[in-house]
Amino acid sequence: MSKLPSPDSAPRRLSALNWSWLGLVPFLLFVLMFLIAPVFYLINGAFQTPDGKYSLDTLLALSAPEIVSSYSLSIRLSLASAGLGAVLGLILAYALILGGLPSWVRRAFMTFSGVASNFAGVPLAFAFIATLGRLGLVTLVLRDLFGVNLYAAGFSLFSFWGLALTYLYFQLPLMILMITPALEGLRPEWREAAESLGATRRQYLSQVALPLLAPSVLGCFLLLFANAFGTLATIYALTSANFPVVPILLFQQIRGNVLYNPNLGYALAVGMIVLMGLSNSLYFILRRRTERWQK
């Protein structure tokens, strides 16, 4: 004879459910609408020709010399700005966190870094033109007071290294913000143990601190690379689309009148997504290793 369920079994089952997952619904909807769905839309468009037929011709067009050159230029520019930002940011952050500077200096730099890391686009381009352009303030001061003509010496704000210097304005403070937790995770007893064993400050840095910081630094470098690779507004405002990095080439295909080919733009975007995905995946791997070492 079967046993009838008790009247309060249904409320018990409902109370046993984990309703905390409902808090993730807005986030999951946001990710679906603004991340996952656009990516699938781009992938679908990358496998189509302008007349709507599915083909591999659009993706194969990425092997064209001008597109390969554009990817190469973007990668080199991103590597240069990320490398400079990672090295200089690590040195500056180490001085702020472990250099014994007054606390107000650290607070001031952290506040500035939070603002400067988000300062890009047209305002940043205008600021650098007014500072290091041909008639910029620093350019004129160096020429008139010190006899140093930057542009006669070969420097140009609108060249490869000029753009890398511009990128450094937001790459450097971003590196400071990202590497600070790793520097704070260096325990004082590690340094004290090394010194008690006779290690000098240089030996401690080279054989203890830097190996521990290496995964964090490499992870930050990858994020800086991804950050620079996707920058459009700053370089567009500086060069007026005359510097053929991938974001500008994509913009020309989507919005241009002469080079209008949205499907090729989708393919370019898919290539950027692949590079971004690889760099972010390596970053998460390095971050997990860092967290495991610091435990």
Q: CATH number of the domain that 246 lies in?
A: 1.10.3720.10
From residue 278, alpha-carbon distances to 83, 105, 137, 168 in Å are 18, 36, 41, 22
* 6 in any annotated domain: no
CA 157 to CA 171: how far, in whole Å? 17
**Separation of alpha carbons 8 and 126, rounded Å:** 69
Is 28 inside any structural domain? Answer: no
Question: What pLDDT sits at residue 279?
Answer: 86
**How far is it, in rounded angstroms, from Cα 191 to Cα 208?**
8
Examine residue 155 and state whether it is found in any structural domain, yes or no. Answer: yes
User: What's the domain count of the chain?
Assistant: 1
Q: Is residue 14 part of a domain?
A: no
Q: Give the pLDDT confidence of 54-102 residue by residue, as tens digits.
A: 888 888 888 999 999 999 999 999 999 999 999 999 999 999 988 888 8
The pLDDT of residue 256 is 66
pLDDT of 69 reads: 93
- Rounded to whole angstroms, the Cα distance separating 253 from 266 reads 9
What local confidence, expressed as pLDDT, does residue 287 receive? 75
- 205 domain residue, yes or no: yes
- Which residue type sits at 1? M
Residue at 175: amino acid letter: M
Residue 4: inside a domain? no
Q: Which residue range forms the structural domain that includes residue 114?
A: 54-294
Give the model's pLDDT for residue 207: 85
What does the pLDDT look like over 93-121, one tens digit per residue?
Answer: 999 988 888 888 889 989 999 988 888 88
Q: Is-contact 271 71, C-beta < 8 A?
A: yes
| Residue 46 belongs to some domain of the structure | no
Does the residue 237 lie in any domain?
yes
Give the pLDDT of residue 121: 83
Q: Terminus-to-terminus CA distance in the chain, angstroms?
A: 58
Give yes or no for a contact between 156 and 163, defined as CB atoms under 8 angstroms apart: no
The CA–CA distances, whole Å, from 14 to 3, 5, 84, 132 equal: 21, 15, 56, 66
> CB under 8 Å to 267, separation ≥6 — which residues?
45, 46, 58, 59, 61, 62
Stated as kind and residue range, the H or E segment containing 284 is: helix 262-294
Low-confidence ranges of the chain (pLDDT < 70): 1-19, 256-259, 290-295
d(CA 36, CA 294): 33
Q: What is the pLDDT of residue 282?
A: 86
